[in-house]
Structure 1
Amino acid sequence: MTDPVELYAKGGVDLTTCDREPIHLLGRVQDFGCLIAISSDWIVAHASENCSDILGLEPAQLLGASFTDMFPRDTVHALRGRMQALTRGEGVTHLFGLDLLDDGRIFNVSIHRANRYLVLEFETADPDEAGARQDAFSMVQALIGRVQRHRDLDKMLKEAATCLRVLLDIDRVMVYRFEADGSGRVLSESLQNGAESFLGLRYPASDIPKQARALYTRNLLRLISDAQAEGHAIVPPSSPDGEILDLSLAQTRAVSPIHLEYLRNMGVRASLSGSILRRGELWGLFACHNMTPFHIGFAKRNAVELFVQLFNYELAQLEVETEREDEARARELHDRLMAQMSSGQNLVDVFDPLAQELQDVIAYDGIAIYSDGTYISRGSAPTEEEFLGLVRFLNRAQSSEVFFTDHLIGGYPEAEGFLDRSAGLMAMPISRTPRDYLVMFRREVAQSVLWAGNPEKPAELGPNGIRLTPRKSFAAWRETVRGHCAPWLSAERRAAETLRVTLLEVVLKMSDAMNETRKKADEQQELLIAELNHRVRNILNLIRGLISQSRGESRDVDAFSDVLDHRIHALARAHDQLTRKNWDWVPIRSLVDTEVEAFLSSEFHRVTVAGDPVDLSPPAFTTMALVLHELVTNSVKYGALSVDSGTVGLDIALSKDGGCSLHWREIGGPVVQPSKSRGFGTTIIERSVPFELRGKAEMRFKVTGLEVDFWLPSSYVRASSVETAMPPEQTSQPQVDVALMGEVLILEDNMIIALDGADMLTELGAEQVHTASRVAEALNILKTREITFAMLDINLGNETSIAVCKACEAAGVPFVLATGYGGAVDTIDAFPEAALVTKPFSLDALRMAIPKSQDLAARHRG
């Protein structure tokens, strides 16, 4: 490792060297508490020197002794009980008001695990600990209520800073947010007692090193009670094998000398930091400073931690609400654009009204479109020649994402030539190769950044040995940033992504109007490629989850296969209805009818649906498909529909607030016996609606029959004008005899589907199954083998099975068409009478389709 002194001599030392300081291995504690680390067999391995001051026990007495011998029996019992909270995962638990040594002195205890040790930290408790804790928590409730009043980020942050200052009675509270480059900016603050304002200042990433940011995500609160106190060493410094005690989660952990000097340079004597987390990542900090030593007791620290946790929740809620508002505006833009664009127009034709609509959602200084070799621009934008060079740069970005930058010359130096007109851009690809783009440009904004000191100035070696002294001046350092435009906000990026999808729809619509089948297929594939990746991964994850969860509740392989098959087909039936409605809202009644028909067939009347006609949004429809499938399946197996006398009623009611209540009631079935172990099916019923749709679900196993109540939020339901159900596309019918024999053919370009189909056809009587993945291969099999039946995939990638269909028809060979597209396919139009199975198909679906194909072939031969 390079010696820091030598590194400094070569000019290589600056504040980034702080990133390498092991701040979690400092081996010291602060004055306000002492620490004891014990092994798994309760032998004291480490103790802080101030154990003698706080506990009256010398470290020499403790080290190597059994903790259970040194402390009263009741204390050991209380600690063991509290340790139970640490049996899973990482965390800290607390014990309040413990008479630790059975001498009347009351302590608060923090407990956590550090590798192989259990770390106990002791602080003297306030006399009125319980009352102080109750008062602090009551105040938190009132203060967080004030934060909840604001639905604007700036006002919320200002209110939170003020509330936290009031709660702590501290000199300064700053809300500090981390930027993408690791630097931080003070967004809000609250001051008293003449504290200096740091509002608007920006701090380099090195001010809070990487390892410190990592600890902030693990430990929500960090107290430094006195920046001038030296603290107390932990003895021995390391274990016999040289391992230093990890203090990452220690409440009393001492502070890096570098950070202490940093605080003193700011005039700060004590500080408290609270972590603001978003989706598990460090969003920012509450930085609380006091100009004099400042200790915060256990009760108030816990109240502050609760306040920070509740604020994190409120911040998350605000961001979710903002995202929903942005999505609503983007949907409105989508609807307006779709209404303006007729089928006979292309994007170039409607560019001007499109640009005007966009201006209301995304601020820009110039806009341009490049489509089919045509370039049009408005406002402050590059020339066509400049743009053609820029296109080659844009082509290196992802084809399925919006590309944005507020510093174009940073990645494309040639942009220097038009920097006077554009410093940043947001580009939406609206085709593939050659790519077409809609691009918005922004002019250069000379940003005056107020740095709290020079961010590039190397630190100087100081009084802390071979360490770095943080800069001693916090005077604002003004840096003018050239070549930047105003940053693209997250709301603008989300709107651009929605617009990209909208424009893809427009292009697809134009292709349909031109009736160019091959071009339409190519463009559709390209326009949907971005969504396809996302959807396929979701489907694979869903199937993986179904397999994993269904396995645990099945007694054998056959039962597992049956449960999994029915669940997948429930999703398939729901998906078919959605696609027939163009992924639009669908009546819930059609879902119920389809699911019931699939199981009961002729006894369809035993399930009644009453109440308000209601439509479900696509996300809700998919979720409810699984839920209703499990309800019907359980009822057919164990509930009211398992006996002839049983019935089921489903009552649907729209509430005044737009939500919807669903009440499932089973009557006349066997006596209900709730299972001791809850299977995956029960989990789907109870948790899908709350988890996926943010609704409610309650399941009651009554003697008279199962009762389940659901509530769906208004965003997923609406009143329907359709009172009758949409007839299901495929339903179960009484089982029929299938007469397959001899050799059969499967034409399918997916090997797994081909193998699955071969197994089904063999089970239905086929003696030998030939598989082919290409038309030429299938035609050769028809010529050389005596084929008695064929199952033909409609779309084979770059070819269709029309030629094979004609060959089978000419030879009198019965055939079934397999498709994942539904009915809008040319092959189906060419053979309207052909038997059809929709992927994913089942053995029952084939059993129903084969006789139809055989009858049709017999009629043709006749």
Structure 2
Amino acid sequence: MSFTVPTTDELDLSNCDREPIHQLGRVQQFGYLVAISMDWIIQHVSANVAEIFGSGPDDLLGVPLADILPQSAIHAIRGKLQLLSPNDGSERIFGADFLGDGRRFDVAVHIATNSIIIELEATTEHALGNGNPGSLIKAMIARIQRAEATDAVFKECVRQLRAVTGFDRVMLYRFADNGSGAVVAEALNRDLEPFFGLNYPATDIPRQARRLYVKNRVRIISNVEAQDVDIVPPTNPHGEPLDLSLSVTRAVSPIHVEYLKNMGVSASFSISIVIDDKLWGLFALHHYLPRHLSMEMRSTMELFGQVISLVIEGRLAKEMRLVEEEARDVHDRVVGRLIATSPTMEELVDFADDFRELIPCDGFAVWAKDVVRTVGHCPFPDQMPGIARFLNRASASRVYATDELSSVYPKAHEFVDRAAGLLAIPISRSPRDYLIFFRKELVETVTWAGRPDDKPVEYGPNGPRLTPRKSFEAWQETVRGRSRPWSNSNLKAAEALRVSILEVLLRFNEEAERQQTLATERQELLIAELNHRVRNILSLMRALVVQSRASAKSVDDFATIIGGRIQALARAHDQITDDKYQAQSLRSIIQTEIEAYVGHKVARVHLNGPPILVEAKTFSTLALVFHEMVTNSAKYGALSDSLGEISVDWRIDENDSCEIRWRESGGPPVQPPSRRGFGTTIIERSIPHDLGGEVSIEYHLAGIRGRFLLPPQSFWLADETNTKTHSPGEEDAALSNEAMQPLTDARLAGKCALIVEDNMIISLDAEQMLLDNGAARVMTAMSVREAKRIVENEALDIALLDVNLGGETSFALAPILKQRGIPFVFVTGYGEKLDLPEEIDREVEAIKKPFATDQLVAALDRALARNSE
């Protein structure tokens, strides 16, 4: 029987894929087949059944099975059927007196659609020698598991199989993703030519044959020269052939028989290796004389195949796990750096070395906002827009990879020498941005077992057909246009990186949005505060003019009075906006607001408490709060008439906090405000929000009572004998600076310094400070790149690094300076604590802007001193 195709034009290497090899309608010569219906009526038999039943097909078809088999055999078959589902494997009985006449048979039973198929073979004596299936498999697996490397496992497998089965050649054939395969292990007689390392095209094992290898895990061909036995009748009453997919005696395609004959093989046996329900590989056993294995031995080898599939799967999973663990460590390190720096998409190219360590490649590119930045071997920039448009056609949220870009993107032929393979990670949806990894062309020589396309056409009674190739001599092919393939671990690492980068970018965008929202809120608050204060000041100016007129005796007197009050108001305003930003006395803050806004009524305000100095950052908040308290009292409270008084008392409580009590009395009756104005909001929320303190306001009929609690870090207690307002630590700082001035001059004298600062005015100011304090030479840089050039070409003694250089930070300079032994100090405007990356020494000092000369010189001196230790 030959497989035919309609015309010569349709002939190609995939024609074998169309052959219905599971419906050939024949069994091999050593087997006998009986197919019965679900009500146990004989539907089909093999033409040779008379050899065992004494009756031919004509006498058996349509007869109940119970008429030809004893009740014990019927009972045994029913027992096995209880364990089966349709189209789901077969059950076996070994060495049974199946016909009750003393002859021993091996029997296989399975269900195929609407038929029960019973296959018989004469039992071979001593099929397993002196052992049993379990003991044999246990011994084989024990020897195999002693092998440590996966390749050693493969070699031991074929060695064990050859020893047990006695076949001339045993090969382990591993499939590639495209269906082709290679011999990865081999055990053979010395006289045979080795096939180890040879590749076989996918067409050597058609697709439907690979599917059958998954369903039916073992396959025997005892003698390629033997005549197969027909199944009678070939079809059922509906014209359908019998499905022999799970048959253990099924005949073989004549095309495959011809293939084996061309190889000189007389008998073969195969054992499938199935991993994750896919045909991973195949043990192919060849013998150059006819050879038959009993059903019991074949079943034992089927069990071996199932066990060894688990062993190989475990070894491969272990190797994959080790690779993935290593990749995970690199991934965590890379993501840690990303989180520490929060780069924009355009800045991701700065992490090229880290990404290339995670996913090995020859070139790396970042395509962001229609601009490309590349590192290593990549297509030229003018070729990247076309690649980006090609990638845009792929899924927006999936990693795309190919080791032969030119096969799906023809224009890639133009740069195949620079980039043959591509892996792209999408990092945004609109616009489409990508991280792209490129691999160069890998010119490879593949050794095939004969030319894959060497299949001659023959003409038979049914027209032309492709025949198996006749030559299996090693034939080499040079493969071009491909790169090293991207492994599953590469793809998993890429997917993990995609998710992590999206999280980092999302975090960066959320932080940027939060900062923008916060800045907008601060701006709105500032505008509202400015509007509020300007209106109050204008109203106050008008009131000052009106109220001052009554007490003035002359125009000059009037000018003096109103001028003094306006000056007091100006002093209060100066306190809030003082650019010296020094600590202030709590008493003076309250006193200034009172003098500015209530004038001659100042005697009705009583201040009592210890000499407390408040931090500069605390001062403006308190000035604003007490400004509102005073103005409210002057408008509606105790100072709005001629009798009311105010007592302001403060103390240090048991928690080291400063408690301020505001009490009004003797004024008009107080009513809670009917609406909540901006001034009330400032009073109640400024101290809790800005300082972390507490505020409570009570509206009693006799007068307003307020309680303000300042946390310990916002103030300190001044010397009882000296209540003069000054900056705490000012004298100590001066003395300290004076004490170490000779040492400072000695350390900076003659030194060469580098200032990295993107603001020219600040840079010039710092330069002059260093020159004034003994530095011999000062160089400046506005970017990391410019600074690196100076460090590499100049002899430096000290460096001053502004953290924020606009579009980048100066953190990248730290390891370079440390390697060269150059001490450095950071300058920052970020606030109290600078969050340094982990790789920077914790002892590195950072000073805040704006800095004074003594602060700068002292910090540099300490850095030089540490470096000389």
TM-score by length of 2: 0.56
Match of residue 100 from structure 1: 98
Return the letter of the residue paired with 1:326.
V
**Aligned equivalents of 1:482, 1:177: Cα separation in 2:** 23
Match of residue 7 from structure 1: 7
Task: Kindly state the Cα deviation for residue 122 of structure 1 after the two structures are TM-superposed.
Answer: 0.6
- The range that moved more, 468-477 or 247-256, is 468-477
**Aligned equivalents of 1:125, 1:336: Cα separation in 2:** 64
In structure 2, do the counterparts of structure 1 residues 170 and 519 end up closer, same or farther at CA, with 3 Å as the change threshold?
farther
Tell me the alpha carbon deviations over residues 503-522 of structure 1, each in whole angstroms, 9 at most, x when there is no partner.
223223323442447999xx
Contact between 2:87 and 2:113, CA under 8 Å: does it hold in 1?
no
Match of residue 327 from structure 2: 330
Residue 178 (structure 1) aligned with residue 169 (structure 2)? no
Task: Kindly state the Cα deviation for residue 101 of structure 1 after the two structures are TM-superposed.
Answer: 1.7
Residue 247 (structure 1) aligned with residue 218 (structure 2)? no
Name which of 246, 255, 258 aligns with 1:258: 255
**Aligned equivalents of 1:516, 1:394: Cα separation in 2:** 33
Where 1:160 maps in the other structure, the secondary structure is helix
Contact between 2:342 and 2:504, CA under 8 Å: does it hold in 1?
no
**Aligned equivalents of 1:220, 1:202: Cα separation in 2:** 22
**Aligned equivalents of 1:398, 1:429: Cα separation in 2:** 9
Where 1:252 maps in the other structure, the secondary structure is coil
**What is the root-mean-square deviation of aligned Cα atoms in Å?**
2.6
Matches within 5 A, 1:34-49: 34-49=32-47
Where 1:15 maps in the other structure, the secondary structure is coil
**Aligned equivalents of 2:353, 2:288: Cα separation in 1:** 54
**Aligned equivalents of 2:68, 2:482: Cα separation in 1:** 65
Where 1:262 maps in the other structure, the secondary structure is helix
Contact between 2:85 and 2:111, CA under 8 Å: does it hold in 1?
no
Tell me the alpha carbon deviations over residues 356-397 of structure 1, each in whole angstroms, 9 at most, x when there is no partner.
233434321111222345432221112222212211111112
Residue 233 (structure 1) aligned with residue 230 (structure 2)? yes
Residue 340 (structure 1) aligned with residue 337 (structure 2)? yes
**Aligned equivalents of 1:170, 1:464: Cα separation in 2:** 37
Contact between 1:182 and 1:204, CA under 8 Å: does it hold in 2?
yes
Task: Kindly state the Cα deviation for residue 479 of structure 1 after the two structures are TM-superposed.
Answer: 2.2
**Aligned equivalents of 2:224, 2:217: Cα separation in 1:** 20
Residue 420 (structure 1) aligned with residue 417 (structure 2)? yes
Match of residue 83 from structure 1: 81
Match of residue 202 from structure 1: 199
Residue 448 (structure 1) aligned with residue 445 (structure 2)? yes
**Aligned equivalents of 2:190, 2:331: Cα separation in 1:** 53
Where 2:82 maps in the other structure, the secondary structure is helix
Match of residue 468 from structure 1: 466
Match of residue 25 from structure 1: 23
Contact between 2:92 and 2:109, CA under 8 Å: does it hold in 1?
yes
Return the letter of the residue paired with 1:104.
G
Name which of 492, 496, 499 aligns with 2:497: 499
Contact between 2:356 and 2:364, CA under 8 Å: does it hold in 1?
no
**Aligned equivalents of 1:433, 1:5: Cα separation in 2:** 51
**Aligned equivalents of 1:42, 1:301: Cα separation in 2:** 28
Contact between 1:33 and 1:54, CA under 8 Å: does it hold in 2?
no
Return the letter of the residue paired with 2:24.
L
Contact between 2:400 and 2:423, CA under 8 Å: does it hold in 1?
yes
Residue 187 (structure 1) aligned with residue 184 (structure 2)? yes
Residue 139 (structure 1) aligned with residue 107 (structure 2)? no
Return the letter of the residue paired with 2:379.
P
**Aligned equivalents of 1:26, 1:374: Cα separation in 2:** 61
Tell me the alpha carbon deviations over residues 671-721 of structure 1, each in whole angstroms, 9 at most, x when there is no partner.
xxxxxxxxxxxxxxxxxxxxxxxxxxxxxxxxxxxxxxxxxxxxxxxxxxx
- The range that moved more, 355-364 or 386-395, is 355-364
TM-score by length of 1: 0.57
Residue 267 (structure 1) aligned with residue 267 (structure 2)? no
Task: Kindly state the Cα deviation for residue 267 of structure 1 after the two structures are TM-superposed.
Answer: 1.1
Contact between 1:171 and 1:191, CA under 8 Å: does it hold in 2?
yes
Match of residue 127 from structure 1: 125
Return the letter of the residue paired with 1:469.
T
Contact between 2:448 and 2:477, CA under 8 Å: does it hold in 1?
yes
Task: Kindly state the Cα deviation for residue 282 of structure 1 after the two structures are TM-superposed.
Answer: 1.7
Task: Kindly state the Cα deviation for residue 337 of structure 1 after the two structures are TM-superposed.
Answer: 1.4
Task: Kindly state the Cα deviation for residue 5 of structure 1 after the two structures are TM-superposed.
Answer: 6.7
In structure 2, do the counterparts of structure 1 residues 422 and 105 end up closer, same or farther at CA, with 3 Å as the change threshold?
same
Contact between 1:202 and 1:450, CA under 8 Å: does it hold in 2?
yes
Matches within 5 A, 1:44-83: 44-83=42-81
**Aligned equivalents of 2:130, 2:237: Cα separation in 1:** 41
Tell me the alpha carbon deviations over residues 509-559 of structure 1, each in whole angstroms, 9 at most, x when there is no partner.
323442447999xxxxxxxxxxxxxxxxxxxxxxxxxxxxxxxxxxxxxxx
Where 1:53 maps in the other structure, the secondary structure is helix
Contact between 2:455 and 2:467, CA under 8 Å: does it hold in 1?
no
Match of residue 403 from structure 1: 400
**Aligned equivalents of 1:484, 1:355: Cα separation in 2:** 23
User: Considering only CA atoms, is the larger Rg found in Structure 1 or Structure 2?
Assistant: 2
Contact between 2:447 and 2:475, CA under 8 Å: does it hold in 1?
yes
Residue 215 (structure 1) aligned with residue 215 (structure 2)? no
Contact between 2:105 and 2:120, CA under 8 Å: does it hold in 1?
yes
Task: Kindly state the Cα deviation for residue 443 of structure 1 after the two structures are TM-superposed.
Answer: 0.9
**Aligned equivalents of 1:486, 1:383: Cα separation in 2:** 21
Return the letter of the residue paired with 1:59.
P
Name which of 390, 394, 406 aligns with 1:393: 390
Where 1:441 maps in the other structure, the secondary structure is strand
**Structure 2 unaligned runs (5+)?**
519-674, 676-869
**Aligned equivalents of 1:101, 1:190: Cα separation in 2:** 41
Residues paired across the two proteins, number: 516
Name which of 488, 507, 510 aligns with 1:509: 507
Contact between 2:199 and 2:447, CA under 8 Å: does it hold in 1?
yes
Contact between 2:420 and 2:481, CA under 8 Å: does it hold in 1?
yes
Match of residue 641 from structure 2: none
Return the letter of the residue paired with 1:279.
D
**Aligned equivalents of 1:389, 1:518: Cα separation in 2:** 36
**Aligned equivalents of 1:480, 1:70: Cα separation in 2:** 62
**Aligned equivalents of 2:328, 2:362: Cα separation in 1:** 23
Residue 368 (structure 1) aligned with residue 327 (structure 2)? no
**Aligned equivalents of 1:440, 1:149: Cα separation in 2:** 40
